Amino acid sequence: MKLKVFILLLTTVFFRLTAEDGSRLWLRFTDAGTETIRFSGLLADNSKVAVTEFQRAWKEMGKAPLSLTGSMKNNLLIIATPHERVIRRLIQSKDLANLSDEGYIIKTINNKNQTYTVVSAKNDAGLLYGVYHLLRLIQTNASLSGLNISENPSYERRLLNHWDNLDRTVERGYAGHSIWQWDELPGKISPRYKEYARANAFIGINGTVLNNVNAAPEILSREYLEKVKVIAGELRPFNVKVYLSVNFASPKELGGLQNSDPLNADVQRWWKQKVSEIYTLIPDFGGFLVKANSEGLPGPMDYGRTHADGANMLADALKSYGGIVMWRAFVYNPDGDDRAKQAYKEFKPLDGKFRDNVIIQLKNGPVDFQPREPFSPLFGAMKQTPIMPEFQITQEYLGFSNHLVFLSPMWKECLDSDTYCAGKGSTVAKTTDGRIFDQKITAIAGVSNIGEDINWTGHHFAQANWYAFGRLAWNNALTSEQIADEWIRMTFTKDQEFVEPVKKMMLTSHQTAVDYMMPLGLHHIFAWGHHYGPEPWCDVPGARPDWLPKYYHNASENGIGFDRTTSGSDAVSQYNSPLREEFNDIKTCPEEFLLWFHHVAWDYRMNNGKTLWNNMCYAYDSGVNKVREYQKVWDRMEDYVDKERFVHIQSRLRIQSRDAVWWKDACLLYFQQFSREPIPYDIERPVYDLEDLMKIKLDLKHHN
């Protein structure tokens, strides 16, 4: 009996040790199809991180570490920069000439009846990215014959923005507390810092802003800078630099000065001394991210100065060290005008007035990371000032870590949008990556969805959004289908019976979320404060109008939507022709943005002949049905996935399905009060009563 109990306990312990928890992300090499890969050895400098990383993965694949060799054997893997003579022998100088500092080549070379696989770059950073590309090919079972790859990143600086606070809470984070253990630093170093750096480097991310844009001045204190120094040291081998969000009032709040006026010589001197202190501790420090004069935060306008005055003061302090200022354009003031216009109004007049080490960080849409927005008109509008896109990886407005929503299609929609700033084909991507404007800085940022949860992101499929951001930051020409295919094969299995249906589910998931939340251009009708569920009726006494859903949907007996035409707020005029005319005309406005730009009558006939009201009803119903279909798809995948991840995702899809019905019933029953039209009888009837839905008040701790 005792033996049986012992065996049972031993089995339970083993099961727990081998259970799949998602912590490995896409860095899984045990199942890589290596049976056809044959390397006779490795010609490389073993001190290089790139070489160490290859050998580490190779060992995980079940292979013995490749022996280092100086001889030119057949099927030899070569990982080296041009400092090695063999590279100069095998690679033509023109092949390396077009590489940037982080670019690389991967080539199959036949020389004197021998074949070599060569990974080369100008420096160690490029070499690391090249090795990771080779490993990705191995992981996804891609052919390794006839390789002829040459890649440079689309953006020079590819950053995660952590909205992490010093108390380790994470604003808009849904995967537990911050991974930065400030209370234990600098004495105790979490092993997750290196795991984090490796995961980021693998997908091309080379920078991280450690703290919330709503920054506490204390981050610049000596105590915290010593902690930042330790994190920087852990990330450095993987070519990931650290940046900090700074509070503009730091000279006053932290330094004890009378004010933080950017034209005050004492303030300027304080920032220069602080920057010198930072670079003494962290020589490769990246720079500052600044949110100023937004949502009550201090900034240069408190002193009658401009955004350029504030940004330039910081840029001057950072200039000699190579640091940059990323100045956020997320600003809106209670001036009574359309909130969607305000970033353009404040920043367009300042074009050309910023230092050359300042870049404006701009959210993809003109309001605030909504499930669907048109691109911000500031993209392409500032021709003398570099702009960097800011995407939100964390799902603040898309179901937190409960909903499966693959965000790559949303980001691609923005990047591929034509601004017409320099004629047809002037996409958002081209206006930000240096192909149209002569920019000294190119960059892109993603608001992190990472926390201390064992699977990093709270939802196993949310890992795909972290992955997708990195891949698009490296190459903004990649398709969402390519990215999803890679991620599935690297994270789950390469079995086509799994890959194809799951990929289809991922690629349609963003449109599905838009359908069950806010179709046809509806936006910002979320519940007060937490943004999780629907609350189109929300009315908080004393709140600013542009904090409330009614400001955006304007539902009445006459119709619904925000009039941004020339007869309304005239936001359309911030776009270049022919977009302004296209958006302005209800007949030509893309229907996915119809209620963004127009206040539309309920009985307006859409392109399919149905009324606006009926189209809204069918969109909500479609969203619900698609999530239910995802449940069926996932249930059929049980034999292809470990039990732990299968059950976890299955439970999240149940939540998403219930939430989709909640959204559908809440919005249709509420708006029906104004349309006074029946919900079409061939779609599912509401299962909730509006009065009950209006009483729902969520426990935010439960959802955070």
Active site residues: 295, 368, 396
Amino acid at 627: V
How far is the first Cα of the chain from the last one, in angstroms, to the nearest whole number? Answer: 45
Q: How far apart are CA 602 and CA 624, in angstroms?
A: 22
DSSP assignment of 280-348, as one string?
HH-TT--EEEE--SSTT---GGGGT--HHHHHHHHHHHHGGGT-EEEEE-----SSSS-GGGHHHHHHG
The pair phi, psi for residue 391, each rounded to 5°, is -105, 155
What is the rounded distance in angstroms from the CA atom of residue 599 to the CA atom of residue 586?
A: 9
Nearest Cα residue to 538 out of 546, 526, 555, 523: 526
- One-letter amino acid at 567 equals S
Residue 553, number of CB atoms within 10 A of its CB: 24
d(CA 213, CA 219): 11
**How many whole angstroms separate alpha carbon 295 and alpha carbon 281?**
32
Token representation of residue 599? 């206040």
Strand 148-151: give its sheet, edge to edge. Answer: 41-44, 76-80, 114-120, 104-111, 148-151
Give me the residue label for tokens 């299609």: 409
Alpha-carbon distance of 169 to 190, in angstroms, equals 17
* Helix, strand, or coil (residue 359): strand
Do 179 and 193 contact (CB within 8 A), yes or no? yes
> Cβ of 208: how many Cβ atoms within 10 Å?
25
In sequence order, the 6+-apart residues with CB closer than 8 A to the CB of 480 are 406, 408, 409, 412, 468, 507
The residues that bridge with 78 in the sheet, in sequence order, are 43, 118
Closest among 147, 157, 662 to 389, alpha carbons compared:
157
Three-state SS for 189? Answer: coil
Distances (CA, A) of 359 to 308, 328, 578: 11, 9, 27
Give the Å distances, CA to CA, from 672 to 600, 602, 626, 686: 15, 10, 23, 12
Can you tell me whether residue 4 is helix, strand or coil? helix
Of the candidates 687, 657, 660, which has an alpha carbon nearest to the alpha carbon of residue 517?
Answer: 660
Between CA 211 and CA 219 the distance in angstroms is 8
**Rounded Cα distance, 135 and 142, in Å:** 10
In the numeric block, which tokens belong to residue 270?
A: 């304080």
Distance CA 621, CA 516 (A): 7
